[in-house]
Every structure is written in C-alpha cells, then in structure tokens.
Chains A and B, each alone.
Chain A
Amino acid sequence: MGSATIRAVDGVSLDIPAGDFLALLGASGSGKSSLLNLLAGLDSPTSGRVISGGKDLSKLSREQLAEYRRYTVGMVFQAFNLIPRMNVLENVELPLRFAEVERTKRANMAARALERVGLGARLGHRPIELSGGEQQRVALARALVNQPSILLADEPTGNLDSRTGTEIMNLIQELNSSSGMTVVLVTHEQPLAEKYAKRLVSLADGKLVSDQGNAKTVVSRGNA
C-alpha cells in the first residue's frame, strides 16, 4: 500500500517555439500542472530532459534553476499567490529584490508593470482590498516585472468570473502578440483554450493525447 509509482508526466515530447501560445488541456490529475512545473524549473524529471533556451533544466543546480525562474520565466497561479502583508507595489517589487535590482529603480519598474495591467492607481492597496480580477492582474504584473521570455499560467481564470477571466486572458494574449512572449496556459476549459491559444495540447494520465494547431485563433487573426 502506498508504494505504487505514479508517473505524473509520462513520455511527453513537446517542442514549443519562442512566441508560441500553447494551451495544456486535460482533466484534473492528467499531469498538465506537473508538466508546467517541469517547464518552470520547479520540479525535475526523474528521466528525460527539459530544454529551455538551449539549457537542460534537469542538469542545472538549485541556484541556476532559481536564476532561470527569476529571469526567464514568469508564473501566474490560479490562487494568485500574492503576499497578503505586502501592498500591490511591494508584491510586484518582490522578484526585483531577488534579482538584486537597485532600490531606486525597483519602484519605477513595478509601477510600469502595474500600469501595463491597468492597475497604476492601486499601488498602495493590500491584496485583500482588491477584487479577484485585480489580484490576478497584480500577479500578472509580478510575473512580467523581470521581463521574462516565457509566461506560465496555471488555471489563471479558475477563481474568476467569466467577465474578469476574459479580461485576464485578453491581457495575456496581448502580451503574447505584442511582445512575442511565449505563453503556456494550463486549463481544463476547452472553450477558453480554443479562444486564445494557437496550439492545443491534451494530456490524459500524464500522456500526450493530442497536439494540434488551433484553427480558430489562426482564422480570427487572419481576419484581423
């Protein structure tokens, strides 16, 4: 009892080109969040490789992985994960502290990131004083402040109503299209993925089930 090995991600081979917007779809427990954690360098594969920007993440030290998460990857979570005792600006400044950015530059950089997500006027508020959508915007600003090349979003609309969820997804899509940021979106909502992602990857029991381009987004962009 309890000794059975479960393969959260099993035999998945995936190539994500820079600037792609990929949605990882699947039911709960299908392995999509585990795959996202591997891409974020939060977890290491027991076998196989995760290569990002030419670097094999499984061979990096803990310090190098922290550096990778600091400069290359931005993360957004379903539960926002803001630090409750810090105000909005301080939450966004936090990754800059880890990046050892000068104190004088930090506030400007964080304020710019917050303006980009439409929260330039709420800098001094605590997370608890914000709506769910606003909190997720702060989380997005925090993910962007170090100007990463990859945005990993784990069910970013999971705790939001549909209107706010749409606003957040529009923002993410805008980031992908305007700055060429690679986006990997984890969701169990097929319609949401179809509306925004360029590529849909489905997982089941840790295995890759399908990997296909999204005709809808190609058509809609073609029309635009």
Chain B
Amino acid sequence: MKLYDSVELAARNLRESVLRNSLTTLGIAVGVASLVAMLSLGIGLQRLASKRLQSSGLFDTVVVTSRRDLRSDREQETSGPAPAESPDLDEAARHKIEKVPGVLEVYPELRFITELRFDDKPHLTMVSGMAFSSKDSDSLEGMQGRFFSSGDAHEAIVQKTFAAELLGKPRHGPDEIKIAEVSKPLLGKQIVMRYAERTASGTDKDSASYSVVTRELPLVIVGVTDLDPDSMRGPARARLFVPEELLEGLHAMQGYDYRDATRATSSEPIYSTLIARVKSASKAESVEEGIKKMGFNTFSILDATKSMRRFFAILDLFLGIFGSLALTVASIGIINTLVMAILERRREIGVMKAIGASDKDVRGLFFAEAGAMGILGGAFGVVLGWIIGSVINFGTNIYLHRQGFPAEHFWAVPWWLVGFALVFAFLVSLVSGLYPAARAAKLDPVEALRYE
C-alpha cells in the first residue's frame, strides 16, 4: 500500500474513535509542551546570561599586562621570556597588538585618584578613561543624560554615589540613591579635574627624569550612571569617567609611573594594562594566544564562560530529561490506544489480510496512526508549550516589576526547538507504535476472521 493511502486510512481510523484518540493526542501534546517549556526555559536563561555578558563588554575584551608587573595575583605565564627580559607594554607594543588579527582596538587602562572641584568644594575620587566604543555597552543601561559626544570631548560621566557626594547628600548605600534625583541638578554643570601631568625631561638613558606639573581641566557632566563601583568590570571601579582619548592626551601621572621611574627615558608612556577589544567573542581565544606569544600576560572572561556553557549544557540536559518524562507517559498512552484498536479491529485486520493486505501494509497502517497522533500532538504541544512559557514569562515580569526590577525575556522558543519537538514527538510515537504495529501485522487472519 502506498504511503498516502496508509495515511488516509489512518486518519479515517483516528476520526472513528475521536474521543479516545483525541485524549491520546492531548497526552502527547502535554508531553511535548512540558519538553518545550523546560528546554525553552534553559535556552532563554542561557541566552539572557550570554547577552548580559556579551553586552557588558567582558566577552570581547582581552586584558593585557606586562610580565614585569609582579604584583599581579594572577598566575604568571611560565612559557616565553622571564619578567625582567620581557618587553615593555608601551606604544610600540600597543601598535603591535592592534595588528593581531581579530583585534578591533587597543587602549590603555588609565585610572588614577585625583581631586575634583565642584561648587568650589574639593572631592577626591578615582577617575578612569572610558573608550568611545563603550557607547553601546550594557553596563551603561539606565544611564541618565547621554554618552560622550566624541572620543576627546571635555565631558564627564559620574557614578551616582559620586553624584550624591557632589550634591552634598548624606552618605547612603548605592541602592538608596535615586539616579533621576541626583542627575537632574548635575547634568550640564561643570566640574574641574585637577591632575598631575607627567613630562619627561632629558633623553639620556642613564639619567632619566621627568617633571610633574599640576593642571586643571574643566569638564561638563553629561551623564550619571548606575554602574556599581564594585562590579567586576575594571573601569567601573572608578566614580568619574572621561573619554579615553582625552585622558591619554593629558599624560596624567599614573600610580605605576613610580615603579617605572628608573626606566622612563622618554615622554612615551609605559602602560600597566592595555585593553584589547576583539571583533567578536569567538576571536578572543586566538587573540589571546597571539598576544601571549609577544611575551605579555593576558586574561579574558572566556575561561569563565566555558564553565558557564558547560553548566547550561547540563541544565538543558536535565530539563530535557524532566520534560521527556511526560512524553514517555504519553507514549504509553499511544501503545494502549493502539493495542485497544487492534482488539477492536481484529476482524477488520483479518478481512484486510483476506483481500490482499500484506503484513507490511497492516504494520504501515498502525505506524501511520501512531505517527499522525505524534505529529498532531507535537504541533499542539509546541503551541501549548509556547503559551505556557509566555504566560509564565508574563507573570514573572509582573512580579519583577513589582520588585522594582526591569522586565526580562528569559523564555525562548527558537525554530530549531520547534522542529526538534515535532521530530521528537513523531519519533517517540513511531517507537510507541512498534509493538502494536508488529502485533497487528502478525495476527493470524483465520483467527482474526473468526473473532466476533
């Protein structure tokens, strides 16, 4: 019998015992829905975590430090040159790193504690450079005002606790400060940064010297950010941010300049840390390798994400297993329905065999019935799973909103999951149909015809 004939007859048979077959199909739908719901939760959470990490700029960042910096608590590279023989992290190194395939930009991590004057009152805090490419960073989510107008604009973004300090508000924890309240009186106002400019004098290698001159730089406050000073992102440990290019041009004295004082032979700075931004997170590993070969230490968040990916793979596996349990129960329902159908249609099977049906035809017919229930149940299940997911997502967001958190989309039903659920439901149904189909095919036609 041709496949479409099997399918047509199967559909007719299924319509005949519509209540029983609908209930069996509903069982499959519930099984598939639970599988889809579980897996979409896992996928959604993974996507949310990945998105957060990627947009935070941690994923596409490689931190480069000199091997000469022995203060680092990170493990020193054992391969390559020894610390004393390793190259300086200077402008030449920066250009070299820029040429490593996959690198988007390289900029130094500039941070120093300095005095800032606002309303004629001095305030001491940590100032940091912020790359112009951080404009789209997720870490600036919720910022009041705007980002820098250019890479060297005389503008500043302040962290909200520092903003509160500038306004003379009593000291509070970061959670108690309302960003909108502190940003309104500050945006557009001027703040003056006092800093120590480092100027090299003399070019003799053995009598290196430099002078330090105090300078003042007026800056316009353009933004107030929520960035937590203790967050894991390096520059966020500061409380006032100025454009990276502007800060570089100031030649402001850095803490590590003292360490390299004995080697300062020119006005060219030697950096403590360079930040290499890569074109995409997938390039981070190869970029890291390339920079290590130059004799520098590197660090990226990639190692941490590896364990995160492994965690989500295990989570998805367990969620999938739990989701599949309901489908297993549903598959028993299919077996039960088809075995009942064989008992009821025993004589009919005998007649079909008497008029020329082969074992294969009978088997195919029951397979088609199982498969049809699987596909129908799968399709309903995907829709049901999607609805359940959306409702839970909606409900959870209402809860998050009441708790003062922004809405999140932690539920994802990608197309591959829809396809996977349908194919999986179909295959599970076919496997469930194996026993009943074999039993129907093996029926003795003479006995079947005698059956009343």
Partner-binding segment picked from B215-223, B320-328, B355-363, B375-383: B355-363
Q: How far is the CA of A144 from the CA of B241 in the complex (A)?
A: 93
- Asked if A77 and B449 make an inter-chain contact with CB atoms under 8 angstroms apart, the answer reads yes
- Asked if A62 and B2 make an inter-chain contact with CB atoms under 8 angstroms apart, the answer reads no
- Asked if B359 and A81 make an inter-chain contact with CB atoms under 8 angstroms apart, the answer reads no
- A209 to B: closest C-beta gap in Å: 23
Q: How far is the CA of A66 from the CA of B441 in the complex (A)?
A: 12
Encode B324-359 as 1/0 by CB contact (under 8 A) with A: 000000000000000000000001100111111111
Q: How far is the CA of A100 from the CA of B210 in the complex (A)?
A: 97
In chain A, positions 75-126 with a C-beta closer than 8 Å to chain B are 75, 77, 81, 83, 85-86, 94-95, 97-100
- B2 to A: closest C-beta gap in Å: 6
Q: How far is the CA of A71 from the CA of B355 in the complex (A)?
A: 9
Q: How far is the CA of A63 from the CA of B355 in the complex (A)?
A: 13
Asked whether A66 and B357 contact (CB < 8 A) given A85-B16, A97-B5, the answer is: yes
Q: How far is the CA of A66 from the CA of B353 in the complex (A)?
A: 7
Q: Chain A interface mostly helix, strand, loop or mixed?
A: helix
Tell whether A146 is near chain B: CB-to-CB under 8 Å: yes
- Asked if B359 and A66 make an inter-chain contact with CB atoms under 8 angstroms apart, the answer reads yes
Encode B299-316 as 1/0 by CB contact (under 8 A) with A: 000000000000000000
Q: Chain B interface mostly helix, strand, loop or mixed?
A: helix
Listed residue (A37, A83, A85) with the most chain B CB atoms within 10 angstroms of its CB: A83
- Asked if B358 and A63 make an inter-chain contact with CB atoms under 8 angstroms apart, the answer reads yes
Determine the chain A residues whose CB is within 8 A of the CB of B1 once the complex forms. Answer: 97-98, 100
Q: Which of B13, B351, B358 contacts A62 (CB 8 A)?
A: B358
Q: How far is the CA of A95 from the CA of B356 in the complex (A)?
A: 6
Considering only CB atoms and an 8 Å cut-off, how many residues of chain A contact the other chain?
26
Residue of B nearest to A69 (CB): B356
Q: Which of A42, A85, A143 contacts B12 (CB 8 A)?
A: A85
Tell whether A32 is near chain B: CB-to-CB under 8 Å: no
Considering only CB atoms and an 8 Å cut-off, how many residues of chain B contact the other chain?
23
- B452 to A: closest C-beta gap in Å: 9
Tell whether A188 is near chain B: CB-to-CB under 8 Å: no
In chain B, positions 401-451 with a C-beta closer than 8 Å to chain A are 445-446, 449
- Asked if A95 and B16 make an inter-chain contact with CB atoms under 8 angstroms apart, the answer reads no
Q: How far is the CA of A94 from the CA of B8 in the complex (A)?
A: 12
Determine the chain B residues whose CB is within 8 A of the CB of A95 once the complex forms. Answer: 355-356
- Asked if A70 and B2 make an inter-chain contact with CB atoms under 8 angstroms apart, the answer reads no
Determine the chain A residues whose CB is within 8 A of the CB of B352 once the complex forms. Answer: 94, 98
- Asked if B16 and A40 make an inter-chain contact with CB atoms under 8 angstroms apart, the answer reads no
Encode B231-246 as 1/0 by CB contact (under 8 A) with A: 0000000000000000
- Asked if A146 and B445 make an inter-chain contact with CB atoms under 8 angstroms apart, the answer reads no
Asked whether A42 and B446 contact (CB < 8 A) given A62-B358, A63-B358, A95-B356, the answer is: yes
Determine the chain A residues whose CB is within 8 A of the CB of B348 once the complex forms. Answer: 83
Q: Which of A63, A81, A97 contacts B351 (CB 8 A)?
A: A81
Q: How far is the CA of A60 from the CA of B376 in the complex (A)?
A: 39
In chain B, positions 1-33 with a C-beta closer than 8 Å to chain A are 1-2, 5, 9, 12-13, 16
Asked whether A83 and B354 contact (CB < 8 A) given A43-B446, A97-B5, the answer is: no
In chain A, positions 51-83 with a C-beta closer than 8 Å to chain B are 62-63, 66-67, 69-71, 75, 77, 81, 83
- Asked if A99 and B356 make an inter-chain contact with CB atoms under 8 angstroms apart, the answer reads yes
- Asked if B347 and A66 make an inter-chain contact with CB atoms under 8 angstroms apart, the answer reads no
Encode A149-186 as 1/0 by CB contact (under 8 A) with B: 00000000000000000000000000000000000000
- Asked if A67 and B351 make an inter-chain contact with CB atoms under 8 angstroms apart, the answer reads no
Q: How far is the CA of A66 from the CA of B352 in the complex (A)?
A: 10
Q: How far is the CA of A95 from the CA of B354 in the complex (A)?
A: 9
Q: Which of B5, B351, B355, B446 contacts A70 (CB 8 A)?
A: B355
- Asked if A142 and B355 make an inter-chain contact with CB atoms under 8 angstroms apart, the answer reads yes
- Asked if A100 and B356 make an inter-chain contact with CB atoms under 8 angstroms apart, the answer reads no
Determine the chain B residues whose CB is within 8 A of the CB of A67 once the complex forms. Answer: 356, 358
- Asked if B356 and A81 make an inter-chain contact with CB atoms under 8 angstroms apart, the answer reads no
Determine the chain A residues whose CB is within 8 A of the CB of B361 once the complex forms. Answer: 66, 98
- Asked if B446 and A37 make an inter-chain contact with CB atoms under 8 angstroms apart, the answer reads yes
- A10 to B: closest C-beta gap in Å: 17
- Asked if A75 and B358 make an inter-chain contact with CB atoms under 8 angstroms apart, the answer reads no
Q: How far is the CA of A69 from the CA of B5 in the complex (A)?
A: 19
Determine the chain A residues whose CB is within 8 A of the CB of B446 once the complex forms. Answer: 37, 42-43
- Asked if B347 and A81 make an inter-chain contact with CB atoms under 8 angstroms apart, the answer reads yes
Residue of B nearest to A71 (CB): B356
- Asked if A42 and B5 make an inter-chain contact with CB atoms under 8 angstroms apart, the answer reads no
Determine the chain A residues whose CB is within 8 A of the CB of B449 once the complex forms. Answer: 42, 77, 81
- A198 to B: closest C-beta gap in Å: 25
Which B residues are within 8 Å of any A CB, using their own CB? 1-2, 5, 9, 12-13, 16, 347-348, 351-361, 445-446, 449
Known: A70-B357, A81-B351. 15 other contacts (CB 8 A): A42-B445, A42-B446, A43-B446, A63-B358, A63-B359, A66-B353, A66-B359, A69-B355, A75-B354, A77-B354, A83-B348, A94-B355, A95-B355, A95-B356, A97-B9
* 15 contacting pairs across A/B (C-beta < 8 A): A37-B446, A42-B353, A66-B357, A66-B358, A66-B359, A67-B358, A75-B354, A77-B354, A85-B13, A97-B2, A98-B1, A100-B1, A100-B2, A143-B355, A146-B356
Which A residues are within 8 Å of any B CB, using their own CB? 37, 40, 42-43, 62-63, 66-67, 69-71, 75, 77, 81, 83, 85-86, 94-95, 97-100, 142-143, 146
